């Protein structure tokens, strides 16, 4: 899971306020939550589309605002994981969050599995989550490569020989959105920065919160329906398959640039990136996806250099593809050089110090989580008084 964050000039700088007064939910200050799966070192798409804005939100936050950024390892195990690799990926992701500029003294940075209240609230919310609603969610369908119209019943006999078997859909994957909702609602989150592809999950979280409040806490709503901080998408595509998004799951390491790649590695990956044999530089994702992706990367690295990717492309129209790739490589290295150096410093330092950051973040997160769970337990009748 990735609640995708975008850059400073998006509406994150001036987010929509809650449609209902925050006082109605016994909350006045803004709380921002987002999470990222532990997939090891993030790639350039993660950085430009998400992580860089996490830092922007942190640096622009008012003193009374709370920011929580989670490494969502419980979500990761909806697919089979190697324990040793997952442990390493958690460390690499935490080091990466520090390297991009998140400050554990200002933001609460933690691993989801270190706060047991996530799982507890998920179960409670599951007891009122609609199977019909969940069946319409896209997460489990995309993971199993099923069409958007698929239903859980489609996987049960009788089915065609080519259809996925019923065991291929696990309960954890199907109920993934409930855990996402619990992640958000546990901290009485008021705002969640997301990309357009995650808006469905935020709508589900609002649905779950409203349903819970209606049943158990109608007078003074307990769970806060979160607002969305939505920004224009920054889709960074694969260097080898520019019609697909850049992804860590692609077996070809040349398809992506990691935020820890050296200048030489960046140059080699971009030099071998798939473009075309046409002359000149033009911007059209349909006819020239590879070239357009390079322009997008250049533009999103520093949006102050042009008003749009199209305008930036006009400045390069007479440039050769070789020269364009070299220019993009230089821009990427300039942007991530400091991040790379900080990452190497963190990973090369005391392993215990990195673990302490995660432990301290989990402690702070659990303090807030216990407050919400305490209120939830009370309205459910799970207390003795």
Nearest to 190 by CA among 31, 354, 312: 31
Contacts of 114 by beta carbon, 8 Å cutoff, 6+ apart: 358, 359, 362, 365, 366
CA angle 48–53–58, rounded 5-degree value: 155
Contact 58, 103 (CB under 8 A): yes
**Distance, CA of 363 to CA of 239 (rounded, Å):** 40
Nearest to 200 by CA among 134, 289, 132, 244: 134
CA–CA dist 52, 36 (Å, integer): 13
115 — alpha (psi -120 to 50), left (phi > 0) or beta?
beta
Q: Which residues participate in catalysis according to the annotation?
A: 143, 245, 248
Q: What 3-state DSSP class applies to 258?
A: strand
How far apart are alpha carbons 325 and 323 in whole angstroms?
A: 5
């Amino acid at each position: 899971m990735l609640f995708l964050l975008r850059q400073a000039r998006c509406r994150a700088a001036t987010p929509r306020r809650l449609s209902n007064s925050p006082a109605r939910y016994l909350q006045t200050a803004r709380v921002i939550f987002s999470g990222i799966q532990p997939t090891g070192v993030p790639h350039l798409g993660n950085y430009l589309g998400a992580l860089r804005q996490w830092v922007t939100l942190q640096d622009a936050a008012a003193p009374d605002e709370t920011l929580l950024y989670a490494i969502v390892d419980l979500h990761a195990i909806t697919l089979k994981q190697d324990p040793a690799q997952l442990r390493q990926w958690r460390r690499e992701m935490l080091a990466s969050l520090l390297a991009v500029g998140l400050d554990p003294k200002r933001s609460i940075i933690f691993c989801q599995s270190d706060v047991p209240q996530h799982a507890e609230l998920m179960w409670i919310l599951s007891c009122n989550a609609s199977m019909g609603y969940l069946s319409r969610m896209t997460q489990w369908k995309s993971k199993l490569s099923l069409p958007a119209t698929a239903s859980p019943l489609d996987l049960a006999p009788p089915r065609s020989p080519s259809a996925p078997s019923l065991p291929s859909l696990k309960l954890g994957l199907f109920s993934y959105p409930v855990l996402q909702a619990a992640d958000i609602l546990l901290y009485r989150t008021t705002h969640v920065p997301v990309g357009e592809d995650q808006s469905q999950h935020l709508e589900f979280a609002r649905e779950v919160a409203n349903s819970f409040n209606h049943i158990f806490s109608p007078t003074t709503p307990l769970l806060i329906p979160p607002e969305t901080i939505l920004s224009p998408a920054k889709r960074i595509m694969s260097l080898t398959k520019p019609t697909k998004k850049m992804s860590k799951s692609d077996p070809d390491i040349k398809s992506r640039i990691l935020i820890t790649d050296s200048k030489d590695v960046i140059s080699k990956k971009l030099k071998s990136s798939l473009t075309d044999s046409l002359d000149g530089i033009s911007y059209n994702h349909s006819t020239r996806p590879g070239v357009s992706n390079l322009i997008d990367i250049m533009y999103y690295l520093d949006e102050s250099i042009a008003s749009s990717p199209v305008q930036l492309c006009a400045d390069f129209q007479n440039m050769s593809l070789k020269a364009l790739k070299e220019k993009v490589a230089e821009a990427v290295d300039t942007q991530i050089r400091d991040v790379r150096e900080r990452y190497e410093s963190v990973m090369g330092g005391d392993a215990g110090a990195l673990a302490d950051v995660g432990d301290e973040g989990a402690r702070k997160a659990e303090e807030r989580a216990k407050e919400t769970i305490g209120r939830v337990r009370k309205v459910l009748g799970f207390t003795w008084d």
